Structure 1
Amino acid sequence: MSRRIIPLIMCGGAGTRLWPASREVHPKQFLSLFGARSTFQDTLLRVSDADLFERPVIITNNAYRFMVLEQLAEIGLEADVLLEPMRRDSGPAIAAGAAFAEARDKDAIVLALAADHVVSDTPAFLAACREGLAAAEAGHIVTFGVQPERAATEYGYINPGEVISGKVHAVAKFVEKPDPATAASYVEAGYLWNSGNFMFRAAILSDEYRKVDADSVQAVTDAVVKAGTDLGFVKLDEAAFGSAKSISIDYAVMEKTSRAAVVPVACGWSDVGSWHAVWELSGKDGEGNAARGVAVFENSRNCNVSTDRALVALEGVDDLVVVATQDAVLVSRQKDANGLKRLVAKLKTVAPQVTEDHIRVHRPWGSYQSVDNGDRHQVKRIIVKPGGRLSLQKHHHRAEHWIVVRGTAQVTVNELVKIVHENESIYIPIGAVHRLENPGKIQLELIEVQTGSYFGEDDIIRIEDDYKRS
């Protein structure tokens, strides 16, 4: 019997190609773009069959760690979560996952998957995993080549070579993203899209990587060996990991190794790399218009609308993307993904906040959202999850007034500990040591009115914190 596969889910990317819905601190892999679940959750469920897969390993970063735990809990799964101290691209990330898996099992077979891809035909995907498993056990580094549905210019391609076994081929050549004419010739010649997902023996991946960059492999291995634990997370050693060269796994290993193999697969795959890709995967009306949220179309065709709250109405336009969030609106052409990339780069210099965070800011205990502000006041809507609590803290420049509108709050103000119910309020003076927590079984929602001279988050002086941010 073949050994089971360890899924390695790469979950640290920023996903700015789906701005403004996807932002630096809440990227696309955690968004519910195609139903109730995120692509991260769908990816995990896809590899949850215990007959084929082991407990998954997730590699992410400090900013996303609590979102990872929350979304795991929502689908009832557990995982080992590795935290990268900084981004080093897919090469070091996959090498770290391989080193961690090898420490668990010296003969470990690893399936490295991106957390933000869509697969609509899970049985076909699992069949490809089973097809590639024997080749991976035999020492090949197996990639999954998607059978092209069109002459795409946004993907790299793989030229499959001689048959290794069954449907598995050696890789004759990897090629970069082509122009339209070259893409058409690749499809005609039987080339495959490069999905960027891989299966391999952990030891083999490390050996092949070491042939090219032994120092980076040693750095990543040291980062795993010296890793600490924090609230159940595995924190890779910062100094060691930081010395690894930032490079993609394709450039570091796949384009250089003689062990590369490919399994052709048709599984409804997409890397969801643009709003046009979201439109392709979405349900549409008779005129080709797709809507997430409330939208009305008149004399418009092939448009894609995503809106959080405001109604979006389009008249007399074709092939547009309109994405409306609470603090930003994008209007662009359907197929100009490079234009959006240039736009986000410009926004990072002109208005960086709108590329980094939403108005609704996620925290380990829940979220908050600014709803009004002035020179001497700010109003926030705060949501605390059942069992969640904020840090014990104080402020030098502001007082706060909390009004509970849903649920029950337990509030600490200096020596006072008080239960505050719906339609009740409590005042926290400047300088008072205070804490808010939700002892109930339903979500706590409150309105916070801050008054004072300064409202920056750096005026939070944490004294105790369940999430070790103090």
Structure 2
Amino acid sequence: MIPVILSGGSGTRLWPVSRQNMPKQFCDIFGQPLQTLTLQRSLKLGQPWIVTSKALETLTELNLKQNQAQQVRVVYEPVGKNTAPAIAALCKLLQSQGHNDEIVAIFPSDHLIKEEEAFLKVVHFAAEVAAENRVVTLGITPSYPETGYGYIQTRAVGLKENGTLKAYSVVKFHEKPDLQKAKEFISQGSFSWNAGIFVFKVSHMISLFEKHQPEMWKQISNLKEDSSNLGEIYSKVQSISIDYAIMEKLNGEELACIPAEFGWSDVGSWDAVSSLQKGKDVLNVLGQENFVFGEQGKHYSMIGMEDVIVVDTKDALMLIKKGLSQDVRHVVDALNQQKSALVKDHVFEYRPWGYFEILKDTETFKSKVIRVNPQSQLSYQSHAKREEHWTITKGSGEVVLNDEVIPVSAGTHIHIPLGAKHRMRNTSNEMLEFVEVQLGTYFGEDDIVRYQDDYKRN
């Protein structure tokens, strides 16, 4: 079996923790990022692939390195075109490598699964059903009338059994219902939540694309084995989900569903998060049932408040009445209209060489703490609108300043004049940390000219 992790989206419903450049699958919400948890599960099924956005390359590579999984094959999409083109491109690449008869399992990267053993058992059973040239979707047995999920309606008679697990023919996919319709679905008993998890044989899925999306497959079939022309293909291909493109066009003999329970959540809202973990300790006065997702080492007190969710980051604070967290999208929409950077960026950012965090950003100066990984270096660069002052606070290395190499260690100060070529290099096996203070007329990250870069950035 080839497990495939689809890692995309911006997770706006979990703003302000999840943002465009740091989507929820990479956020530390449950002790480990959801992408890490998904990768660890997938490794128990086979050698995983990841399909993700080029914009998430740094976070993806860092996650693989942290999990010692650099052998994972990653396909970087130049632009998101939804799940159908992603799966089509994956199938073409697998076909070109001679994996036509392999079973593939598609997993979203941002879902939480608490009962891993039960989950793996269901996936293995799904592979058995998929080997019979059926596309198999995992359905989640609903525990309440949820309006935020799509539903899968199945026939009453099972197709195949394995112990307590049964696979059923699918009658129909249903869009997210209103509350009344969701209650009707629950009462009928033949409906499952659509978890977005699919299992299929590569050759069979290709035949379905040829039949139901011939134009898309014609375009994708030109994909080179090294994916070097993926940008050209994606500039023409239709943006459409696998549900619309393929799943909803299949009949009951072609599509199966295995209803199951394995502690699944798509972690789609702060209400979901608050139901899955304890949150920060809160001192409640004349109030109760409050949840705080906040900063380490910070005290939280609430007076006269009940059923409130507090989400606190370094640059944003949001309070939500429990039950209304789906409306976070309205906050994000308003910030987008204001062209606010809060939707896109945190005050911290991971780079291929390490990490930085903005300490202060004013009209006259900007300060950061910068950490450089062992045996790593920043690009050799210059700035047109700012000078910089570097004070090393931890570790040792060397600064290259206009081609002069200067050894540095904790306590060393280096002045980088306006327009000077410079880079920081960590030559040790420990983290190097320094504080940077910028002075000038503009402090944007785009005021940079790179002359040499280990990571081939412009």
Q: Distance in 2 between matches of 1:222 and 1:61?
A: 20
Structure-2 residue corresponding to 1:440: 428
Residues 421 and 98 of structure 1, relative CA distance in 2, 3 Å threshold: same
Q: CA deviation at 1:75?
A: 1.9
Structure-2 residue corresponding to 1:70: 62
Q: CA deviation at 1:224?
A: 4.7
Preserved CA contact (<8 Å) 1:102 1:108: no
Q: CA deviation at 1:212?
A: 2.2
- Where 1:459 maps in the other structure, the secondary structure is coil
- Cα deviation, 1:355-399, whole Å, max 9, x if unaligned, reads 000011221111222222333322111111112211111112221
Q: Distance in 1 between matches of 2:389 and 2:223?
A: 45
Structure 1: gaps of 5 or more residues: 229-235, 284-290
- Where 1:255 maps in the other structure, the secondary structure is helix
Report whether the alignment pairs 1:217 with 2:217.
Answer: yes
Residues 457 and 121 of structure 1, relative CA distance in 2, 3 Å threshold: same
Structure-2 residue corresponding to 1:340: 328
Residues 296 and 94 of structure 1, relative CA distance in 2, 3 Å threshold: farther
Residues 209 and 368 of structure 1, relative CA distance in 2, 3 Å threshold: same
Preserved CA contact (<8 Å) 1:404 1:423: yes
Choose which of 354, 364, 375 in structure 2 pairs with 1:376.
364
Residues 375 and 129 of structure 1, relative CA distance in 2, 3 Å threshold: closer
Aligned pair count reads 447
Structure-1 residue corresponding to 2:175: 176
Q: Distance in 2 between matches of 1:119 and 1:226?
A: 33
Choose which of 91, 94, 97 in structure 2 pairs with 1:98.
91
Preserved CA contact (<8 Å) 1:223 1:238: no
Preserved CA contact (<8 Å) 1:381 1:445: yes
Choose which of 248, 255, 279 in structure 1 pairs with 2:274.
279
- Cα deviation, 1:112-164, whole Å, max 9, x if unaligned, reads 00000000001110110111111111100000001112121111111122322
- Cα deviation, 1:298-322, whole Å, max 9, x if unaligned, reads 3333322111254332222122221
Preserved CA contact (<8 Å) 1:359 1:369: yes
Q: CA deviation at 1:186?
A: 1.2
Report whether the alignment pairs 1:87 with 2:65.
Answer: no
Preserved CA contact (<8 Å) 2:139 2:195: yes
In the alignment, residue 172 of structure 1 is paired with which amino acid? Answer: V
Residues 349 and 224 of structure 1, relative CA distance in 2, 3 Å threshold: farther
Q: Distance in 2 between matches of 1:220 and 1:275?
A: 38
In the alignment, residue 133 of structure 1 is paired with which amino acid? Answer: A
Choose which of 53, 58, 73 in structure 1 pairs with 2:50.
58
- Cα deviation, 1:231-286, whole Å, max 9, x if unaligned, reads xxxxx621112211111111111111121111111100000000011111113xxx
Preserved CA contact (<8 Å) 1:96 1:224: no
In the alignment, residue 169 of structure 1 is paired with which amino acid? Answer: Y
Structure-2 residue corresponding to 1:287: none
Q: Distance in 2 between matches of 1:370 and 1:19?
A: 19
Moved more, 209-218 or 11-20: 209-218
Structure-1 residue corresponding to 2:200: 200
Structure 2 length as normaliser, TM-score?
A: 0.94
Preserved CA contact (<8 Å) 1:128 1:264: no
Structure-2 residue corresponding to 1:238: 231
Preserved CA contact (<8 Å) 1:98 1:110: no
Q: Distance in 2 between matches of 1:319 and 1:210?
A: 51
- Where 1:222 maps in the other structure, the secondary structure is coil
Report whether the alignment pairs 1:386 with 2:374.
Answer: yes
Choose which of 387, 412, 421 in structure 2 pairs with 1:424.
412
Preserved CA contact (<8 Å) 1:392 1:463: yes
Q: Distance in 1 between matches of 2:192 and 2:20?
A: 31
Q: Distance in 2 between matches of 1:338 and 1:387?
A: 44
Q: CA deviation at 1:347?
A: 0.9
Q: CA deviation at 1:216?
A: 1.4
Structure-1 residue corresponding to 2:159: 164
Report whether the alignment pairs 1:257 with 2:250.
Answer: yes
In the alignment, residue 465 of structure 1 is paired with which amino acid? Answer: D
Preserved CA contact (<8 Å) 1:368 1:382: yes
- Cα deviation, 1:24-56, whole Å, max 9, x if unaligned, reads 000100011111x1111101111212xxx3311
Preserved CA contact (<8 Å) 2:92 2:223: no
Structure-2 residue corresponding to 1:232: none
Residues 298 and 207 of structure 1, relative CA distance in 2, 3 Å threshold: farther
Preserved CA contact (<8 Å) 1:14 1:27: yes
Q: Distance in 1 between matches of 2:320 and 2:395?
A: 42
Structure-2 residue corresponding to 1:227: 227
Structure-2 residue corresponding to 1:248: 241
Q: Distance in 1 between matches of 2:221 and 2:304?
A: 58
Report whether the alignment pairs 1:413 with 2:406.
Answer: no
Report the RMSD for the aligned CA atoms in angstroms. Answer: 1.6
In the alignment, residue 61 of structure 1 is paired with which amino acid? Answer: S
Q: Distance in 1 between matches of 2:341 and 2:108?
A: 26
Structure 2: gaps of 5 or more residues: none
Choose which of 28, 32, 40 in structure 2 pairs with 1:32.
28
- Where 1:341 maps in the other structure, the secondary structure is helix
Q: Distance in 1 between matches of 2:309 and 2:262?
A: 26
Q: Distance in 2 between matches of 1:442 and 1:335?
A: 46
Q: CA deviation at 1:465?
A: 0.8
- Where 1:42 maps in the other structure, the secondary structure is helix
Structure-1 residue corresponding to 2:456: 468
